Structure 1
Amino acid sequence: MEKTVNFDLTGKVAIVTGGSRGLGVELATSMAEYGADIALMAGNVEKMKKVAADITEKTGRKVIWVKVNIGDEESVKAAVQAVMDEYGKIDILVNNAGIIRYGRPEEMTYKDWTDVLNIDVTGTWLMSKEVVNVYMGEHGGKIVNINSVNSFSASPVAPVYHVAKAAEAALTQSCAAAWAGQGIYVNGIAPGNMQNGEMAPDTPADILENIRRKVPQRRLGGYGDLSGALLYLVSDANTYTQGVTITCDGGLILEAF
Structure 2
Amino acid sequence: MKKIAFITGASRGIGRATAIAFARAGFDLAISARTLETGEVFQHSVRKADGRPLDGSLNATADAARKLGAQVLVVRMDLLDNNSVINAAQQVLDHYGRVDVLINNAIYQGADLNHTFMELQPETLERVAQGYILAPFILTRKLMPAMLEQGAGVVINITSGAGEKDPPFAADKGGWGYGYGAGKAAVSRLSGVLSRELGEQGIQAFTVNPGVITTETLKETIGEKGVLALSNCSAAPEIPAAVFVWLATNTTATNYQMCTINAQPFAIEKNIKAES
Q: Which moved more, 1:169-178 or 1:233-242?
A: 233-242
In the TM superposition, what is the alpha-carbon distance from 1:203 to its structure 2 partner? 3.2
Q: Distance in 2 between matches of 1:208 and 1:35?
A: 33
Contact in 2 for aligned 1:219/1:250 (Cα 8 Å): no
* 2:74 match: secondary structure: strand
In the TM superposition, what is the alpha-carbon distance from 1:205 to its structure 2 partner? 4.1
Q: How does 1:1-40 map to 2 (within 5 A)?
A: 11-40=2-31
Contact in 2 for aligned 1:193/1:249 (Cα 8 Å): no
2:257 is matched with which residue: 231, 242, 247? 242
In the TM superposition, what is the alpha-carbon distance from 1:226 to its structure 2 partner? 0.8
Q: Aligned residue for 1:3?
A: none
In structure 2, give the amino acid aligned to 1:150: A
* 1:203 match: secondary structure: helix
Q: Distance in 2 between matches of 1:167 and 1:197?
A: 24
Q: Distance in 2 between matches of 1:240 and 1:202?
A: 36
* 1:204 match: secondary structure: helix
1:106 is matched with which residue: 94, 106, 118? 118
Q: Distance in 2 between matches of 1:202 and 1:70?
A: 21
In the TM superposition, what is the alpha-carbon distance from 1:245 to its structure 2 partner? 2.2
In structure 2, give the amino acid aligned to 1:77: I
Flag structure 2 segments of 5+ consecutive residues without an equivalent.
Answer: 38-56, 172-176, 267-276
Q: Aligned residue for 1:118?
A: 130
TM-score computed with the length of structure 1 as normaliser:
0.84
* 1:107 match: secondary structure: coil
In the TM superposition, what is the alpha-carbon distance from 1:249 to its structure 2 partner? 4.5
* 1:137 match: secondary structure: helix
Q: Distance in 2 between matches of 1:248 and 1:65?
A: 27
Contact in 2 for aligned 1:185/1:241 (Cα 8 Å): no
In the TM superposition, what is the alpha-carbon distance from 1:239 to its structure 2 partner? 4.1
Q: Aligned residue for 1:159?
A: 178
In the TM superposition, what is the alpha-carbon distance from 1:152 to its structure 2 partner? 2.1
Q: Distance in 2 between matches of 1:197 and 1:152?
A: 24
Contact in 2 for aligned 1:71/1:126 (Cα 8 Å): no
Contact in 2 for aligned 1:149/1:249 (Cα 8 Å): no
Q: Aligned residue for 1:219?
A: 233
2:101 is matched with which residue: 66, 81, 92? 92
* 1:54 match: secondary structure: helix
Q: Which moved more, 1:233-242 or 1:73-82?
A: 233-242
1:171 is matched with which residue: 171, 186, 190? 190
Q: Distance in 2 between matches of 1:66 and 1:204?
A: 31
1:13-68 deviation digits (Å, cap 9, x = unpaired): 010011111110011110110100000011112221121112112x1111111112
Q: Percent identity?
A: 24
